Structure 1
Amino acid sequence: MLHSITVRDFMAESLLTFRPDMDVMTAIHQLADRGYSGAPVLDNLGNVIGILSEHDCLKVAIHASYHGVMGGKVADFMSKNPVTVDTDLSILDLAKMFLDKPYRRYPVVEDNRLVGLISRTDVLRAIDSINDSSNA
């Protein structure tokens, strides 16, 4: 059943995104304020060029301890060349990807443009939806 459910069915479409030249402290504030663990970084054409995660944000503190400066640009701290997934990927294949990689989320692209974000929690929602429909 999971093989027939796609990423499109459970991805988040209302997204927080960052630009590479944005101040990283502003980005950290937005993540903390919204309770997000990360967000895609887009270039001027809307292409996904990175991800700024909680893990990446911890680098800001380390950087500050060595250099005495808290901050910098998102591009200085983001993880570059993120793995993306297609909207038509099955949730089952996505679950396998989550098991094989340490990522908590993947940017979802269609025609090389960001259209959503899919997380481990979204996979759990897909599994739960199958359980709900079989109990109905």
Structure 2
Amino acid sequence: MAIKSFQGKRDTSQGKEDAQILVSDYMTKKLITFKAEDTLDHVIEQLITHKISGGPVVNDKNDLIGIISETDCIKHISESKYYNMPSDVNNTVGMYMATGVDTIDKNTNIFDAAFKFISSHRRRFPVVENGKLIGQISQTDVLKAAISVKGNTWNS
């Protein structure tokens, strides 16, 4: 007489992934945004006041048109303030912002987002839906998600 199995009935849920953690679960939805016509002095004040390192630039329809960062503002400082030149009214966000911005989809798995951060050396990605800015995911948001997963599924 042959032995059928010592393992008992198999759990059919083994091997199935738990619900995915998505970018939309951790992205920031209330953002400090800028317009292309804003002055860089205004941007610098906002970055310092809100303790942020950059922000998305949108038009009147909330379409993402660029990103302005501390680095972009430092370029402005090095080009004018360093040489004690007066602030030019034409020193606008539109002149210094980065265009052609990399974005990320709200339905991206948070760990795929982490890989995108590693491979791109970016600190943040705007989240866009149908061309409209709906949020932003940062490296800190990915870390928060990782801590959440550790608390729920990993052994401490």
User: Structure 2 length as normaliser, TM-score?
Assistant: 0.80
1 or 2 for the larger relative contact order (CA 8 Å, sep ≥6)? 1
Name the counterpart of 1:9: 25
Aligned to 1:32: 48
1:68 aligns with 2:85: yes
| Alpha carbons of structure 1 residues 74 and 128: separation in structure 2 relative to 1, 3 Å | same
Aligned-residue offset at 1:15 = 0.4
Query: RMSD of the TM alignment (CA)?
Result: 2.0
**In 1, distance between residues paired with 2:134 and 2:18?**
21
- How big is the shift at 1:69? 3.2
Structure 1 residue ranges, 4+ long, deviating more than 2 angstroms after superposition: none
Secondary structure class of the residue paired with 1:86: coil
Letter in 1 for 2:63: N
Aligned positions, number: 136
Q: Residue 46 of structure 1: CA displacement?
A: 1.1
Corresponding residue for residue 87 of structure 1: 106
Q: Tell me by how many angstroms 1:133 deviates.
A: 1.2
Matched, 1:106 2:125: yes
Amino acid at match of 1:128: I
**Unmatched tracts of structure 2, length 5 or more:** 1-16
Q: Kindly, what percent of the aligned residue pairs are identical?
A: 35
1:92 is displaced (CA, Å) by 1.3
Larger gyration radius, structure 1 or structure 2: 2
